[in-house]
């Protein structure tokens, strides 16, 4: 069984996240997602809209994901790879080169991002178009 691991915040979940998780899962048989805790996100200067538990439930509901574990720090990746017997570490190509040091422990793959969408873009677009008085949602 090939085990794959990836990490992320997965706040404001969108189809770019789903694409990444689907492609990560296609590289192996079992996909582990290290989900950044809200406390770790604060260290990264990110503020989450959803709590860790809410984000965990969302990510767990994705059919490509087999296990969600908390990500508390940058340093835990080596321990996670060893503990979960990971064969492939996957990140988006915006991180290219940043995790090459993990090649000592497993294969490292950087996947292309879905170019037209990101959480940052969604937040920016929403703040630009803050007048929702004409919008009706079901």
- Just list the catalytic residues: 44, 46
Contact yes or no for 86/49 (Cβ under 8 A): no
Distances (CA, A) of 22 to 12, 32, 44, 78, 129: 17, 12, 25, 23, 31
Contact yes or no for 100/77 (Cβ under 8 A): no
């Amino acid at each position: 069984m090939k085990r794959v691991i990836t990490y992320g915040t997965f706040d404001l979940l969108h189809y770019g996240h789903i694409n990444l998780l689907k492609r990560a899962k296609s590289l192996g048989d079992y996909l582990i997602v290290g989900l950044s805790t809200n406390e770790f996100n604060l260290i990264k200067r990110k503020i989450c809209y959803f709590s860790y538990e809410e984000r965990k439930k969302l990510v767990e509901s994705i059919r490509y994901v087999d296990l969600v574990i908390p990500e508390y720090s940058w340093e835990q990746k080596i321990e996670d790879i060893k503990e979960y017997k990971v064969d492939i570490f996957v990140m988006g190509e915006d991180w290219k080169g940043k995790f090459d040091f993990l090649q000592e422990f497993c294969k490292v793959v950087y996947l292309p991002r879905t170019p037209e969408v990101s959480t940052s873009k969604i937040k920016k677009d929403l703040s630009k178009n803050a007048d929702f008085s004409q919008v009706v949602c079901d």
